[in-house]
Amino acid sequence: MAGQLAVDASSSPETPAVGSPPVLVAKGVGVGYGGVRAVDDVSISISKGEVVGIIGPNGAGKSSLLGALGGQVKRTQGVITLGDRDISSLMPHDRARLGLVRTFQTTSEFARMTVYENLVTAAEGDRGASLRSVVLHPRQTAQRELELRARAWSIMERFEMTHTADLYGRELSGGQRRLVEIMRCLMRHPRVLLLDEPMVGVAPHLTGKLIDDLRGIAQEGLGILIVEHALEVVRKLCDRVVVMAFGKVIAAGEFEEVVRDPVVQAAYLS
Ligand SMILES: Nc1ncnc2c1ncn2[C@@H]1O[C@H](COP(=O)(O)OP(=O)(O)O)[C@@H](O)[C@H]1O
Ligand SMILES: [Mg+2]
C-alpha cells in the first residue's frame, strides 16, 4: 500500500502517526490465556488529537489488546509508554491517573446514581474519596469538590446532557449510557481514551452524534483508540485504522486503503 503507515508483518513495528509525536506507544505487546496467544507481538501508537480504529474479525484479540494497554489484562510481553513514562507494569488506576483511561460497561452502581453523581464520583477513580483527606484537609477537599462539580457541569454542557443531570443511570437510553460512560472518562483528564465498541446499544440515528462528539474531543487534543466493528462508523470517525486477525496486526493505514487490501478482505471472509 503506497504511502501507508509502515506495517511489517514480520515484527509488526510501531505505526508512526503523522504530525505530532505519539503520546501512547506500545511495542511488541503480547497477551496469552493459558495456551492461547490472544495478542502476539502487536505494536501500535497514537498521537494527540488522533482517532485510531482497531478492526478485525471476532476473536482477533482487539479487546485483549485494549485490556493490555489499560492494564486490566496481563501482558506476557512488550513495553507500553505514555508520554515519556514506561507504564507497562502499572496498575489500571495508576495508568488512568497518568491519563490512559478505558471505558467500562455500566455497573449496578451506575444505575443507582444520577448522571451528575456518576460524573462527580468518576473523577475519584478506583480509590474513592478518602475520609482521611476530608478530616485532615477540609479546605482542599472542599475546593476539590467545587472543581469537580464545575467540571461535571461543563462536561454535561459539552455533550448537551444537562437535562439528564438528575436522571438515574437506569432511566437512560442505551445511547445516553454510552455517552455518560465516555463523559465519566473525561472527568479524569485523559490524554488517551480507550473505547471498546462504544456504539453497541446506541440507536442508529444517534451514532452520527456520537461520532461528532468523539471527533470533537479528539480535536481538543485527546488521542482516541477505538475498537469498532461497524466499518461505516470507522470510515467516518477514524484518521487511520489498524486491522488485527489471529492476535496480529495484518494491515494498517487509511481506511479506504486498508479495506481494499486483499489480506484484510481474506481475514474478514475466512
Ligand atoms: N478471559 C479469557 N480467557 C481465555 N481466553 C480468552 C479470554 N478473553 C479472550 N480470550 C480468547 O482470546 C482471543 C481474543 O479474544 P478477544 O480479545 O476478546 O478478541 P476480540 O475482541 O477481537 O473479539 C479469543 O480466542 C478469545 O476466545
Ligand atoms: Mg472484543
The rounded Å distance from CA 34 to ligand 1 centre is 11
Same domain, 120 and 195: no
- ∠ CA 64-69-70 to the nearest 5 degrees? 95
Query: How many angstroms separate the CA atoms of 168 and 172, rounded?
Result: 7
Residue 253 within any structural domain of the chain: yes
Q: Is the pLDDT of residue 7 over 80?
A: no
Domain boundary among 154, 189, 224: 189
pLDDT of res. 130: 64
Looking at the fold, whether 184 and 240 belong to one and the same domain comes out as no
Q: What is the pLDDT of residues 122-136, one digit of tens each?
A: 887 544 456 677 677
What is the predicted pLDDT for the residue at 139? 85
Residue 262 has what pLDDT? 94
Which ligand number lies closest to the CA of residue 196?
Answer: 2
Strand pairing category for 22-33 and 192-196: unpaired
pTM: 0.88
**Closest protein CA for atom 16 of ligand 1:** 61
* Cβ–Cβ under 8 Å, residues 48 and 39: no
Check whether residue 148 and residue 68 sit in a common domain. Answer: no
Rounded distance between C-alpha atoms, residue 164 and residue 123, angstroms: 19
- What is the CA(38)–ligand 1 centre distance, in A? 6
Q: How far is the CA of 55 from the centre of ligand 2 (A)?
A: 10
Residue 16 lies in domain: 6-99+190-270
Residue 145 CB neighbour total at 10 angstroms: 14
183 and 202 housed in the same domain: no
- In this prediction, residue 27 carries a pLDDT of 98
1 domain residue, yes or no: no
Ligand 1, atom 26, lies closest to the CA of 59
- CATH code where residue 266 lies: 3.40.50.300
Cell of 170: 437506569
Q: Do residues 87 and 37 both lie within one domain?
A: yes
Place of cell 498521537: 47
Q: Does residue 86 share a domain with residue 10?
A: yes
Question: Is the dihedral angle over the CA atoms 56, 186, 158, 130 positive or is it negative?
Answer: positive
For residue 113, give the 3-state DSSP assignment: coil
Out of 189, 214, 230, pick the residue that ends a domain: 189
147-172 per-position pLDDT tens digit: 999 999 999 999 999 999 999 999 99
With contact defined as beta carbons under 8 Å apart, do 115 and 180 qualify? yes
User: How many independent structural domains does the chain possess?
Assistant: 2
